[in-house]
Amino acid sequence: MGVFADRLVAAMQGNSSLLCIGLDVDPALAPPSLVGREGWIERFALGIVEATRDLVCAYKPNLAFFEALGLDGYHGLRAILDGLPRDVPTIGDAKRGDVGSTAAAYARALFDVWGFDAATVNPYLGWDALEPFAAYSDRGVLVLCKTSNPGSGDLQDLPTRVGETTMPLYEAVARRAVSEDLHGNLGLVVGATYPAQLARVRSLAPQLPILVPGVGAQHGDLEASTRAGLDESGGGIIVNASRGVLYASTGEDWQTSARAAALKLRDRLEAASGGRKGASGRPAAG
């Protein structure tokens, strides 16, 4: 993953953490004392960051929540990205995918305009549609593989023939991500709600970073998915929680409660993983 991987591993080491916090600002869930006040979007998100920045390996704003807030949301996201600490990498959870010149416009938006260190992308349109993202070799490109939702199997589990072999579609995506990783900056997304599939993907893609959402409100199995997803270095997974941290309390103690929730998740991840063995995201020797 090049530059992104280096930044990620540095944050994982520095904060002893595989935890990523999803900055999904939702006015229906955020502290009522903040919602609607001037600049509340960035005040809330950066308040969460202030309370957790020594506990995480990455922050992951999901663009959907900002888009749902209209122009205020975009201005808020800009202020959040400008206010984030430089030593923690950012993942733009956008799940974009489009044809040729349009994919290039999305890549410019995510990497040049917003300035994310990595972004999630959707593989349905094919690999030429992902190349404009991957061409940003200093950024990470995390390809949806097996998503955390109950209906993810509708397409992703369909038995698919690739050459002489039949495999679920998500496996075909994982294998292809390995063979198409021309710039050394691809990764995968596999939900914590499917630890067996996560283990399978890790076996197919031993060296790719895997973003693992779904441990909080979606009730993915944190311990099982951590063990399933670790690479040989004891890292290589970015385990995301959003609502369970952000909305741990909506009272005056929202920051301390978010910190407590993040700390608990961080420590559970450290216990499940046994800490990082190597200094890089690639497998350590021995």
Binding site for a copy of itself (CB under 8 A): 24, 26, 62, 64-65, 67-71, 74-75, 78, 95-100, 102-103, 105-106, 108-109, 112-113, 122-129, 144, 147-156, 158-162, 166, 169, 172-173, 176, 191, 213, 218
At residue 210, φ and ψ (nearest 5 deg) are -125, 125
Specify the residue, 105 or 263, whose C-beta has the smaller distance to a copy of itself.
Answer: 105
Cα–Cα distance for residue pair 243/236, rounded to 1 Å: 23
Rg (CA), the chain: 18
264 is annotated as an active-site residue: no
* Secondary structure letter of residue 31 according to DSSP: -
Q: Among 198, 189, 188, 260, which Cα is nearest to 229's? A: 198
Cα–Cα distance for residue pair 107/137, rounded to 1 Å: 12
Q: How far is the CB of 80 from a copy of itself (least distance, A)?
A: 14
Answer yes or no: are the C-beta atoms of 157 and 171 closer than 8 Å: no
Cα–Cα distance for residue pair 222/281, rounded to 1 Å: 20
Catalytic entry in 60, 95, 146, 277: 95
Answer yes or no: are the C-beta atoms of 276 and 18 closer than 8 Å: no
Specify the residue, 120 or 255, whose C-beta has the smaller distance to a copy of itself.
Answer: 120
Residue 109 CB-density burial (10 A; 0-12 exposed, 13-18 middle, 19+ buried): middle
Active-site positions read: 95
